[in-house]
Amino acid sequence: MALTDTFVRQVKHSGAPAGDKYTDGHGMFLLVKAAGKYWRMNYRYAEKQKTLALGVYPEVSLAKARKRRESARELLADGIDPSQAKQDDKKTKISAAAHTFGIVARQWLAKTASERAVSTQEKVTNWLNHDVFPFIGGKPISTIGPRDVLAAVQKMEDRGAVESAHRVKQICGQVFRFAVASGFAERDVTADLKGALAAPEKGHYAAITEPKQVGALLRSIHGYGGHPYALAALKLSPLVFVRPGELRAAEWVEIDLEAAEWRIPGHKMKMDNDHIVPLSTQALEILRTVHPMSGHGRFVFPSIRTAERCMSENTVNAALRGLGYSKEIMTAHGFRAMARTIMDEVLGERVDLIEHQLAHAVKDPNGRAYNRTSHLPARREMMQRWADYLDSLRIGAQVISIQK
């Protein structure tokens, strides 16, 4: 006879040590013990008698227990053991809880760290910590859908960080692909977000390229009253014109003051190739001024909060803002455009040497890429001429345009 809600609610334990059984049909029964009331289902699988736990009353009602019985019978009809399916489902849930987006993303960050420059690793970590983890970091990565990711990156888009939003979406995609390869997710859900974000505006980093204005900028830099590390980084930026991330992550082990060279390892470079920066006498003077302050540590320009990290990515740009140069006029990255333009159009330096020094891909007439030491003596002379020219602009000497 089928059970009723009233009977299930009112029935009491009779005192029998093994408990009392009340059947409901198709193998399901209510087991009443002193400790409580339990739903069970007897069935046969692979010629063996087995029992499946369906839940505890009253958390699992009679109606819900019957639904679970029917689900188990459907599995049996498909040749699946419901007890094994239940165990597998439990393991899946435990695995999902142990592999949240935050946990998997940190595993990906650690495993792929050698593929990125130190500055890039720090930037990606900050993006994840500040813009992604608060929204989906605690969710099992296998349960996250496209709209979950979109909600996070749209927060960045809403505050105007459109380019960063696109970059973070790409990073999330890399995390998902890592999760797929590791067996934690089925697919990269960010593939469904194509066209969901506004297209970033195309443009170049703002830069001052007119010699007289460059002279005024250099005089402002030399009068900067901020932290000594920021001042040194500002002074060095136009002299070496490396990428801002490469400058702030400079390490003393890379710099040979005697040989007047800064050798940047490939893993820090955008093109993944080792790069040599010849140091002018002016650049050496700046570095020798900084050495007593940071030479005992790893970074040339350490963070003022901890020597374990390099200077913040915003330091040079913030210093420029403090000097009155808005982001529409001059940026830390703009020192590269400044050097590229003036060295070519005013000083008449060889374009291939300039491109070498900018760490751009340069090929010989046979289409082969030059190595890091190519034309090093000529580049060394060019860098000294450039430094001397900048001094003349800063001091206010007559500026003579030199045509090629």
Residues labelled as active-site residues: 243, 270, 333, 336, 360, 370
Residue type, 322: G
Residue type, 202: K
Can you tell me the distance from the alpha carbon of 303 to that of 320, in angstroms, rounded to the nearest whole number?
Answer: 18
| Cα-based distances in Å from 10 to 14, 192, 250, 395 | 12, 53, 77, 98
Answer for the pair 261, 305: CB distance below 8 angstroms, yes or no. Answer: no
Closest CA to 246 of 230, 268, 265, 231: 268
Q: Residue 15, CB half-sphere, CA atoms under 13 Å: how many?
A: 0
Handedness of CA 239, 241, 243, 244 (dihedral sign): positive
Q: How many CB atoms lie within 10 A of CB 313?
A: 18
Answer for the pair 255, 278: CB distance below 8 angstroms, yes or no. Answer: no
Q: Six-digit token pair at 243?
A: 């990428």
Closest CA to 277 of 265, 262, 267: 262
DSSP string, 162-186: HHHHHHHHHHHHHHHHHHHHHTS-S
Point out which residues pair with 36 in neighbouring strands. Answer: 33
- In degrees, rounded to 5, the angle at the alpha carbon of residue 317 between the alpha carbons of residues 362 and 245 is 40
Answer for the pair 277, 286: CB distance below 8 angstroms, yes or no. Answer: no
